[in-house]
C-alpha cells in the first residue's frame, strides 16, 4: 500500500509543529481562505466543526488528503474572537480571569474521493484570577496576537492556567490523540 500524501490546510506553524510530533510532514501547506464569521445563534462546538470541515473542503487536494483544523475558545455559548488588537485581548483576558471556559478543537480530513472524516476535542480550563499587573505583562508579551480568546497556552499564559481537563495540544491548535486516530483510520503510517 502506498503512503497517502497530506496537505495541511493551515498556515499555523503550531499545527505543523504538532503534526511533526506524530511523525507526519505535510507534502504541502495551503491556508484555506474562507469566511470565518459565526452564523447567528451558532454554538461554539458546531462553529468549530463547521470551520474545520469548510477549510478541508476549500483546499484543492487532488490525490492527496487534506487536513484542516479550527480552535474555538468559548465562555458559555459565547465564541471569543481571535485577538487582533490589544483592546480585544484585554477584554478576553478580563472575561476569562478566574473563570472556567472551554476550548473546542475540531479537525477534518478530506480524502481524495471527497469523503470527510471529523473529530472534536473539548478541553475545559480555568485561569487564575488575573491581577492588572499580570494582564498588563501578558499584553506586553504580544503572545496574544491572532490567538483565539486572546491567549496562547504554549507561551507564558500556561503559567496563568490553574486547571485544565482535556487536551493541551487541542488548546494549542491540533488535538494529537484525535488527529492520530483520524490519520491512522485513513491509512497513514503512525506508530
Residue 46: enclosing H or E segment and its boundaries?
Answer: helix 44-58
Pairing assessment for the beta strands 6-8 and 28-29 based on DSSP bridges = parallel
- In the chain, the largest separation of any two C-alpha atoms, in whole Å, equals 57
CB neighbour list of residue 64: distance below 8 Å, 6 or more residues apart: 4, 5, 6, 7, 27, 28, 112
35, 70, 85, 113: the active-site residue: 70
Locus of grid cell 506586553:
140
Query: Which helix (H) or strand (E) is 71 found in, with range?
Result: strand 65-75
Q: Is 113 a catalytic residue?
A: no
Q: Compute CA 45 distance to the chain's CA centroid, rounded to the nearest angstrom.
A: 12
The CA-CA-CA angle for residues 170, 18, 88, to 5°, reads 50
Q: What's the alpha-carbon Rg for the chain, to the nearest Å?
A: 17
Residues belonging to the active site:
70
Amino acid at each position: 500500500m502506498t503512503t497517502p500524501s497530506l496537505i495541511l490546510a493551515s498556515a499555523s506553524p503550531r499545527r505543523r509543529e504538532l503534526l511533526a510530533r506524530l511523525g507526519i510532514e505535510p507534502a504541502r501547506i495551503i491556508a484555506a481562505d474562507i469566511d470565518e464569521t459565526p452564523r447567528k445563534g451558532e454554538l461554539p462546538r458546531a462553529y468549530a466543526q463547521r470551520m474545520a470541515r469548510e477549510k478541508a473542503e476549500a483546499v484543492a487536494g487532488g490525490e492527496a488528503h487534506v487536513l484542516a483544523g479550527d480552535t474555538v475558545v468559548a465562555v458559555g455559548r459565547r465564541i471569543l474572537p481571535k485577538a487582533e488588537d490589544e483592546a480585544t485581548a484585554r477584554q478576553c483576558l478580563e472575561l476569562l480571569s478566574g473563570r472556567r471556559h472551554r476550548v473546542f478543537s475540531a479537525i477534518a480530513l478530506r480524502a481524495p474521493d471527497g469523503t470527510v472524516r471529523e473529530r472534536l476535542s473539548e478541553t475545559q480550563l480555568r485561569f487564575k484570577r488575573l491581577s492588572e499587573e499580570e494582564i498588563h505583562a501578558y499584553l506586553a508579551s504580544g503572545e496574544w496576537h491572532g490567538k483565539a480568546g486572546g491567549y496562547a497556552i504554549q507561551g507564558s499564559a500556561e503559567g496563568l492556567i490553574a486547571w485544565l481537563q482535556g487536551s493541551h495540544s487541542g488548546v494549542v491548535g491540533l488535538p494529537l490523540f484525535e488527529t492520530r486516530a483520524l490519520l491512522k483510520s485513513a491509512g497513514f503510517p503512525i506508530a
